[in-house]
Amino acid sequence: MDLSRLTLADKIIGATGLLLVIDLLFLPWHDIDLGPLGSVTRSAVESPNGFWGVLALLLTIAVIAVLVVTRLTETKLPELPVPLERAIFIGTIAVLALLLLKLVIETDALGFGAWLGILLAAGMVYGGFVKSKETPGQTAAGWSPPPPPPPA
């Protein structure tokens, strides 16, 4: 695996995306105090409004998967009606929008995972913005794509 093929935007999206997956699955988004019975913590993919957290998790995984497939393998993805860089940017915006929606719908007893998740999603959007400014097919400095196979 040649990580030198990753651009700065790929590294930003990948790092914040992986941390966001951890945040969504394991960190407390809601800390509910039950008085003498203790407290209950819920992650982003659990109630309340776990549906939005699950959608954000799936979309984050999809964005990371697209980066891995396009940058670290020789696999060609199907052509999209928009450049791939813009599609990734739109995907990162959608992740942030889903998490903001989850946050706004239920604001009671928010844990630190909610705030960290919003910051990580904003970092993904920044990486997506930087990626959208790349030229299609741009690679990191010092790496060039392999030559096309000879005609058969």
Question: Using 50, 70 and 90 to split pLDDT, how confident is the model at 63?
Answer: very high
Distances (CA, A) of 1 to 4, 65, 99, 131: 9, 15, 32, 21
17 pLDDT more than 80: yes
111-118 average pLDDT score? 93
8-31 average pLDDT score? 94
Q: Retrieve residue 86's tokens.
A: 């813009």
* Range from 65-74, 91-100, 114-123, 139-148 carrying the lowest mean pLDDT: 139-148
Q: Could you read off the pLDDT of 25-43 as tens digits, one per residue?
A: 999 998 877 878 877 888 9
Q: Retrieve residue 51's tokens.
A: 């549906």
Residues near 18 by beta carbon (within 8 Å), at least 6 away in sequence: 64
89 pLDDT more than 70: yes
Q: Could you read off the pLDDT of 123-148 as tens digits, one per residue?
A: 999 999 999 998 766 666 544 555 66
Residue carrying structure tokens 């941390």: 19
How confident is the model at residue 134, as a pLDDT?
Answer: 82
